[in-house]
Structure 1
Amino acid sequence: MADSELRQRKPQDAEEPVQAPKAKKSTKSKIRETDAESPWVDVLRVISFLFVASCALSYWISNGESFFWGMKNKPNYMRVDWWKAQMQGPLYLTPEQLAGYDGQDASKPVYVALNGTIYDVSNGRKMYGPGGPYSYFAGCDAARGFVTGCFAEDRTPDMRGVEDMFLPLDDPEVDAQWTTAEMKAMKDKEMADALKKVDDALANWVKFFANSKKYHKVGYVKKDEKWLEKEPRKKLCEAAQQGRSKRKNRNSEY
């Protein structure tokens, strides 16, 4: 009787089976699962970073001109023609060959020479090409015209006599106020000052083209060593001549 009751009675005090707690996933596992579930998240992050970096770099290089590389005057290292010129080396063109780069042929670059150095001014085709205000400088070395301002008349590198535009006009009545020795010393100083002004004016243009971000040097003009001796001496153009003034009186400040 006791044994049968024991067999029929449920063990109330028996413990239910306890399940083992699930192990917590590590942080690395979570990251791996996230990456596996959404692989495009990182792609979008990289693309976003590159886009922002590109905009920032464009803004910095263009000095605030554009966020999207739309700058008008790109630096030389971003221009294909500049790299081609660097790899090909400097060009050596005769004046006759240089004349073929005056912008008349749209398939050719526009070249301007100054003091024997040739610059590619194709980025300023509207200025230096046909019909442009500086078209007289295209396809030639017009150093004289850069200084005198006589674009059409002075399309030549011959600088002889340009200093006259900075010399005062002689006036017998005014000149009579000085002795011969004084006048000679004065004219020597006037000539030295005039020559310096010519050099400074030409140097400013050379500096402009040499430091330009829009134009770049491509070569040199190839001329005969005695070319200047074969050229007739030019007279000072009318516009430059009209800019001269008379020498001041002795009592006025010189």
Structure 2
Amino acid sequence: MASAAEVRRRKPTTETEDEIPVAASASSSEAEEIISDAAKKLVAAKPKKKSKKVEEDEYDRWDIALDIVRVVTFLFFASCGLSYLVSGGESFFWGMSDPPKVLKVDWWKAQFKGPIYLTPAELSLYDGTDPTKPIYLAINWTIYDVSANPRTYGPGGSYHYFAGCDAARAYVTGCFAEDRTPDMRGVEEMYLPLDDPEVDRHWSRAELKALKTKEREDALKKVHDGLKHWVDFFANSPKYNKVGYVKKPKDWPGMEPMRPLCESAAKNRKARKVPGKEDKPE
């Protein structure tokens, strides 16, 4: 009859215990070594799982790549749309024949460099006759670089009279050759009617005086508006950059005599009209 120890040895064991041979006679240290080896085999047999940190790193790299693609795509379409708006529908890719001044390197250089100050004599050296110098013109004491249009403002150009000087007067009178000066005194006369005794007798002396005052006010406003048109033209032009100012001579115009109205401006003056009468066609 089997002893109690043999019965316990033959008793079925669990799956884990079957894989771990246990010798009754083995010492405690040997048993621990056998159990350790078996445990290592069980761990090695289990499928390895990626750590949470590795999974997060892989997700972050993929997410960052998608974000980069989204940003680049957005910037591309935004650039195309902005180019279309700035160019007035001319180009989606900044290929403009006449880009605005903010897209020109020279304009940015001028902003960082600051305004220049030239005397009228110094300004005259920038009239386009020297190819090593830019072409400058001034209007109302403000200097603009018009080098972008040498055919117009350079030698032989239709507006070469304006280069190298402040010809504010000529912009209003239209006398390019004669009025290359900023002196605007007397320009309003081109808008004043001529005195005619036969016509003027229709008003009393007081009425005629008040009428002449009103006529001069209106004429001065027309001169102002005419000059302002060209001042605004250059100030808002995408081609021409403001580079500085003309040094106004001390006490200018001083004792200089007032210029007479040029011939082409003077010939357009007409006599006053009699109140209630209109010009009849001949």
TM-score (norm 1): 0.77
1:51 is displaced (CA, Å) by 6.5
**Helix, strand or coil at the partner of 1:228:** coil
TM-score (norm 2): 0.70
Answer whether contact 1:171 1:247 (CA < 8 A) is retained: yes
Does residue 101 of the first structure (1) align with residue 114 of the second (2)?
A: no
**Helix, strand or coil at the partner of 1:173:** helix
Alignment of 1:102-121 (within 5 A): 102-121=127-146
Does residue 83 of the first structure (1) align with residue 100 of the second (2)?
A: no
Summarize deviations over 1:184-204 as a string: whole Å, max 9, x none: 111111111111111111111
Larger radius of gyration: 2
Identity between Structure 1 and Structure 2 (%): 64
Answer whether contact 1:174 1:248 (CA < 8 A) is retained: yes
Gapped regions of structure 2 (runs ≥ 5): 1-54, 59-68
1:60 is displaced (CA, Å) by 2.8
1:178 is displaced (CA, Å) by 1.4
What does residue 125 of structure 1 align with?
Answer: 150
Q: Structure 2 vs 1, CA of residues 230 and 46 (structure 1 numbering), >3 Å: closer, same or farther?
A: same
Supply the AA of the counterpart residue of 2:146.
Answer: V
| CA–CA distance in structure 2, aligned partners of residues 48 and 132 of structure 1 | 47
1:54 is displaced (CA, Å) by 4.9
Answer whether contact 1:127 1:134 (CA < 8 A) is retained: yes
Gapped regions of structure 1 (runs ≥ 5): 1-28, 33-43
| CA–CA distance in structure 1, aligned partners of residues 76 and 156 of structure 2 | 41
2:186 alignment partner, one of 161, 166, 180: 161
Summarize deviations over 1:82-103 as a string: whole Å, max 9, x none: 1111111111000011011111
Alignment of 1:222-241 (within 5 A): 222-241=247-266
**Helix, strand or coil at the partner of 2:227:** helix
Supply the AA of the counterpart residue of 2:120.
Answer: P
Summarize deviations over 1:191-242 as a string: whole Å, max 9, x none: 1111111111111111111111111211110022212024332110111011
- Greater relative contact order (Cα < 8 A, sep 6+): 1
Answer whether contact 1:174 1:250 (CA < 8 A) is retained: no
**Helix, strand or coil at the partner of 2:225:** helix
Moved over 3 A (4+): 44-57
Alignment of 1:128-139 (within 5 A): 128-139=153-164
2:165 alignment partner, one of 131, 136, 140: 140
Tell me the matched-pair count: 227
1:171 is displaced (CA, Å) by 0.9
Supply the AA of the counterpart residue of 1:212.
Answer: S
Summarize deviations over 1:125-182 as a string: whole Å, max 9, x none: 2211111111111110000000001111100000011000000011111011211111
1:45 is displaced (CA, Å) by 11
Supply the AA of the counterpart residue of 1:113.
Answer: A
